[in-house]
Amino acid sequence: MLRPKKVEITEVGPRDGLQAEPYFVPTKEKIAMINSLIGAGVPRIEFSSFVSPRAVPQLADVTDVLAGLNRTTHTILAALVPNARGAIRACEAGVDEIIVFMSASESHNLKNVNRTVDESLAGFDDVAKIAGDAGIPVHGVIATALGCPFEGDVPVEKLSYIAKHYRELGFTGLGLGDTTGMATPPVVQKAVRHLQDAVPELPLGLHFHNTRGIGLVNVMVGLDEGIENYDASFGGMGGCPFAPKATGNICTEDLVYMMNELEIETGINLDKLIGVAKDVERVMGRELPGQVMKAGPRLQLHSMADVATASG
């Protein structure tokens, strides 16, 4: 399959990047981050989650954050919801899109949302109805889709079992989450091809973590399979708080840089995106793992006068 000429990158940093932080990032800082992402041309942003403040206190200000954003037709503002209560709150707040999520493995789903797989699927009936009545599209995500830290490899049949339920509920897309960075190129290829055959009606997206250093390698596999939708996080932040040894997502600036070099359109201004990542690094008060934010694009040249000359 030919690689796509254009991809849609979803920025998940404001949600996935901040949810596991040990302290609450001030609301005004979150708003500034997201508005800067909108200004950089990011087409879709997972800006927060309508979860219980007790479960994820870092995102307790979700409604205030949304109210402070520069709404535009060029950027979709999406939010995660875990259940019907979250869906009602999201609809009342006026999100552009709702995202529901569950894990492919029973073990991780119990840890993450304290439900079995079938219990989660049953609960999505209510979410789909609430969102449908409000005219808000729903996107379905499958976490631990490419490996579970408790169970190991996940059978692709489990993915299509969940995906077919998503299709029946009228969801508009399907995301595969590599929650703890267990994906490898053969695993990605097998899962993608299986789902393209099983649910061809659902546009497929990929969400990789860089836990074992091959996040962008897995993106290349996705591109070769024709996948056009990818998640990433500013500065490479993120990680699931309910999975062992979970580290950050693939980095948005690094992903956009790679797409630019592959001559694949994203619609995102890389220089502005690097500026966002540096601002986030300042807010977090620590160095983030992103690489392009440190080195810049490869053709960003430097003055010889700024570099010492070897002697001796």
91 belongs to the catalytic site: no
Instruction: Give CA–CA dist 70/68, Å, rounded.
Output: 7
Q: What local confidence, expressed as pLDDT, does residue 246 receive?
A: 58
277 CB-contact burial (10 Å; exposed 0-12 / middle 13-18 / buried 19+):
buried
Query: Within a domain: residue 1?
Result: no
Q: What local confidence, expressed as pLDDT, does residue 247 receive?
A: 67
The number of domains in the chain is 1
Q: What local confidence, expressed as pLDDT, does residue 111 receive?
A: 83
Please say whether the beta carbons of 45 and 78 come within 8 A. yes
Choose, from 91, 148, 240, 251, the residue flagged as catalytic: 240
- Would you write out the chain's pLDDT as a tens digit for each of its 312 residues? 789 999 999 999 999 999 888 889 999 999 999 999 999 999 999 999 999 898 889 999 999 999 999 999 999 999 999 899 999 999 999 999 999 999 999 999 898 788 899 999 999 999 999 999 999 999 999 999 999 989 999 999 999 999 999 999 999 999 999 988 999 999 999 999 999 999 999 999 999 999 999 999 999 999 999 999 999 999 999 865 555 555 689 999 999 999 999 999 999 999 999 999 999 999 999 999 999 999 999 888 888 888 888 876
Query: Within a domain: residue 312?
Result: no
Domain containing 129 equals 8-306
Query: Within a domain: residue 2?
Result: no
Give the closest residue to 178 by CA, choosing from 191, 165, 169: 191
Query: Within a domain: residue 181?
Result: yes
Structure tokens at 214: 């091959």
Q: What local confidence, expressed as pLDDT, does residue 2 receive?
A: 87
Query: Within a domain: residue 3?
Result: no
124 CB-contact burial (10 Å; exposed 0-12 / middle 13-18 / buried 19+):
buried
Query: Within a domain: residue 286?
Result: yes
Query: Within a domain: residue 200?
Result: yes
What CATH number corresponds to the domain at position 54? Answer: 3.20.20.70
Instruction: Give CA–CA dist 10/41, Å, rounded.
Output: 11
Query: Within a domain: residue 110?
Result: yes
Please say whether the beta carbons of 242 and 16 come within 8 A. no
